[in-house]
Structure formats: C-alpha cells, structure tokens
Structure 1
C-alpha cells in the first residue's frame, strides 16, 4: 500500500478537524450545526405593531395639543378669557392631573407684548391652581404652539390647493372632474368612492 505524502496528510487532518469542529461547535456543545438565532431583533414584527406605535405617537401629540391655550381664546390685547377660553381652561383643569403635558399659553405675534404674555400665563396658572392642580405654576409656559396656525389667506390657498389636487376636482386615483375612487375619472367619476360633478 502506498504511503500518503506529508502534505496530503496535513490537508486530510485539517479537513477532519474542521468537520468535527463544525458539527460540534467550538465548545463541544454537541449542537451539530444547529445554532439558535438571536431574539434581540425579531425577523418579522407582529402584524400591526409598527402602525400601532405610529398611531400611539399621533394620539399622544394630539393630547398635548389639547393643552394649548391659543391667542384667540383671550379678548384681544387683554388677559380676559373669552367664553370658549373659559370652557377650554375648565377642560384642561379637569384633565391636567392625569396627563403629563405642559400647559402652553400662545405668545403674541413676534413677541410684541411680553408683559401681556406673562400676565396671561399668571392668570392661567392661578385659575388652574384654583381648580385643584397644585403644580400648575411649574407646568404653565408662554411659547409658540407645536404647529403654527394659518391665517385666513394661507388657509384659503391650502384649501384650493387641496381641492384641485387631491379632492373634488381631478384628485384621487382616477383623475378628472369628480375624481376619486379606484377606477374613477371623467365627468361623474365611478369606481370605488368616485364622486360626481
């Protein structure tokens, strides 16, 4: 029988070592190549979990906006609350104990009346304290609201932009007058949800 050269013996020995190490794992755990995957990052998120987190964030932001007292809730250039402002501050006072959000008093345009803004803040904090919220003074601030409101001209431009691009005239998937729907188009629309003109 012929003897194997030394190089072939080394190659055969290293192959056997790699085969045994691959099947048994380096620690000799005997897993035979079946390694557990890490559970730190799931392969697939449960159905709806990403949307649920997104919706929860939107709901939380909407709750925070409820705690903003806008300028139009005060009588112009004074600290007196309008009827809507009084109703709003009563609602805030009732919800403030169970919500972590700050109360924001909208500041004047370009901060032209900082004394009036400070007086409005003190008034709101005092009313909320009288309604049973002891931390109202620490949670009431003068600031710009989270989302800037539109004036009448900006709102009109946005309305017509929406009307002519996404809704009513020519919007949706179908296009054309009456638009909308999944198969609409032309005068009178059609398809799912199509409108008429």
Structure 2
C-alpha cells in the first residue's frame, strides 16, 4: 500500500467532509493548544505511530493576506466574529464541469447555498437552451435512478425558467459577480470553494 505523509493543515484543506471519519497515523509533529496532550501549559509532541480519528472539521479563524496598491502584502489572523462585511471577487478560473462545481462549492436550498455561474457557450438541454454568457443559479443537487444532476434557475424578463444539467456536462463555467455583503462566518460556511483561494473586498458601511 502506498503511503504519503503531509502536514495536518494541507490534509484538512484537501479533505472532503463527506469522507469523514478518517484515521491518520502520526509521523511527526507538535500540538500547541487545546489538546489532551497539553499539560500544565507545556507543549507536547505526538508519538510516532499514534492514530488520530478525525470525525469533524470546524473553522475557528481565517489566515488572510491583505493586499493594497503600492504596498507589500501582509498576513493576519481574523476571528469568524470579526464585525466587518465583505464582498466576493468572482474567481477568474473556470470550472471544467458541473461535477467540479458540485465537488467544490456548497449547494443547498438556502439562498446562500445557490451559486451563480455563466458559460461562454450555449448549453443545449432537455428543457431548452441556456444562452451563451447567460447567468444561471444552481438551486439543488438531485439524484434519480442513480443519475445525478443539478437544478438550474434562469431569470428572463421577471420570469423564472428551470433547467436540469447532468454532473457529467463539461465546458467552461465561470463564477458570476456577486454584489451581496457577507460576514466572515457566512463566507466560511457557504462561500469557500474547496481547493481554491477566495478573494474578498472589505466593505465600509459607515455613512
């Protein structure tokens, strides 16, 4: 069996929560806070070969790279309770298929879990055609008779049209611009794609 060692940070970034629980074997490393291995304020190391069973992942803080024109970028830690509001900068990298979108972003009946995309080419579907560059909102992920697809909603002249797109559908799908305001907690819970960095702008709402 092939084995590969990696840091816990790298592992959790690539981990799909649906695959939990997962068992890890310690190769080397230290744990700093909040562990049963932390006694009397001292730092303890794990022993080689010990097993850890990961049953869940929760984000408690974000490591943020601040970028300003004409100055060097700097990295800071932000708590999820940070009181500011943020806007999302649309990802310029395309998704190669509907399956990749489903694997990367959160999709749910909740409004925050309905991402919006566009495709530079027409999508010929059973219910009709989604025009090139026409935005569509993914509203649900469904499986019927072993075949999975997403429900997509397109608004035209104040009327909504529903389309179904198979996960196997390929193409170039780009994230649409989003003019909504979000808290850090909302971004983490709903708007953080797996395996991709997310760029945001801080919004000054003081008037």
TM-score range for the pair, normalised by the shorter chain length = under 0.3
* Larger radius of gyration between Structure 1 and Structure 2: 1
Higher strand residue share: 2
Higher helix share: 1
Q: TM-score, normalised by structure 2?
A: 0.19
